[in-house]
Amino acid sequence: RPPPRFAGSVQRCRLCMSASVLLEPIQTSSEPRAPRRPAGAVNTAAHTSLHAAAAAANSNAAAATNKTKMFKKFDPAEAVSSRSQVKSSVVRGIRAALVEQYPLIEDVIDEILPKKDISMAKCQNHVNILCAAQEPLFFQQRDGPWYPTLRLVHRRKSCFATSTWQTDAGAIRFVLGGANIMCPGFTSEDGALDHDLPKGSPVVIGAHGKKHAMAVGQVLMGRDAVREVNKGHCVENLHFLGDGLWQAEKLD
């Protein structure tokens, strides 16, 4: 029996006719059509489960879209909903998390993130931006890892050396346009995957022949997978040179 074909990305539920189900098998000529269910004879558990799965898929897709467009058109006047000073106890916890994520930052953490004048800007899509003297230094989404801003990376390049991958020069124009980064950009002769970063971790993106990093993103494939698969997106581009966060030198 041939596998069932699937309709477009959004289909109507056969039971309640709501358009919340992502995919629905289409009957083919080799498959006998199932008899219609009598009116009122609805499998409630299966029906609820079907809609729950569709809602989860839609939610995940929306979250991925929001993350990808995190700072591409970032405007502090519109995106920042509130700003507040961070308590010293909270600052200590953040500093500990940063040292754990970026061990090379430990010796200069007091200079980068002093104990006073630390604020948090809460933005759309559950994004938090950590600032020192109103300068954005790190950002995170929900309770995820902390990502450094490019201005900080440029000043403290050595602190993020073990979290850096390098693309070939051909990838630069795509990355600076906000595109996610594909495996061949790293596996080519001029690319470099010097550090094994697990899926979901922050990564600083450099480019062959360039002194400074051009983007900060999230690893979608570990180093071994990138080399083995060598196709598709392996880094989600969250923050790049020229985007809204780069242009916002201060959040005052």
Model confidence at 52, pLDDT cuts 50, 70, 90, reads low
37-72 burial: b if 16+ Cβ within 10 Å, else e: eeeeeeeeeeeeebbeebeeeeeeeeeeeebbebbb
CB 219 within 8 A of CB 203: yes
Among the listed residues 179, 90, 85, the one whose alpha carbon sits nearest the alpha carbon of residue 132 = 85
Residue 145 reports pLDDT greater than 60: yes
State the amino acid at position 12 in one-letter form.
R
Give the three-state DSSP class for 165. strand
Q: What percentage of residues in the chain have a pLDDT greater than 90?
A: 65
CB 150 within 8 A of CB 215: yes
Residue 10 reports pLDDT greater than 50: no
Query: How far is residue 23 from each of residues 7, 94, 99, 171, measured CA to CA in Å?
Result: 6, 42, 44, 34
Model confidence at 62, pLDDT cuts 50, 70, 90, reads very low
Model confidence at 116, pLDDT cuts 50, 70, 90, reads confident
Residue 36 reports pLDDT greater than 50: yes
Residue 59 has a pLDDT of 44
Residue 17 reports pLDDT greater than 80: no
Residue 61 has a pLDDT of 38
The CA R_g of the chain, rounded to the nearest whole Å, is 23
Give the three-state DSSP class for 209. coil
Give the integer Cα–Cα distance in Å for 97 and 233.
Answer: 28
Residue 102 has a pLDDT of 97
Residue 109 reports pLDDT greater than 90: yes
Residue 98 reports pLDDT greater than 60: yes
CB atoms within 10 A of CB 225: 15
Residue 126 reports pLDDT greater than 80: yes
Q: How far apart are the first and last CA of the chain?
A: 64
CB 24 within 8 A of CB 54: no
pLDDT tens digit sequence for 216-246: 999 999 999 999 999 999 999 999 999 999 9
Residue 31 has a pLDDT of 52
User: Average of pLDDT values for 26-48?
Assistant: 52
Question: What letter would DSSP give residue 107?
Answer: G
Q: What percentage of residues in the chain have a pLDDT greater than 70?
A: 73
Query: How far is residue 51 from each of residues 25, 41, 54, 127, measured CA to CA in Å?
Result: 15, 17, 5, 28
Model confidence at 43, pLDDT cuts 50, 70, 90, reads low
Residue 159 has a pLDDT of 97
CB 235 within 8 A of CB 187: no
CB 205 within 8 A of CB 181: yes
Residue 63 reports pLDDT greater than 50: no
pLDDT tens digit sequence for 188-221: 999 999 999 999 999 999 999 999 999 999 999 9
Query: How far is residue 240 from each of residues 17, 138, 179, measured CA to CA in Å?
Result: 43, 14, 10
Structural tokens at position 226: 């990138």
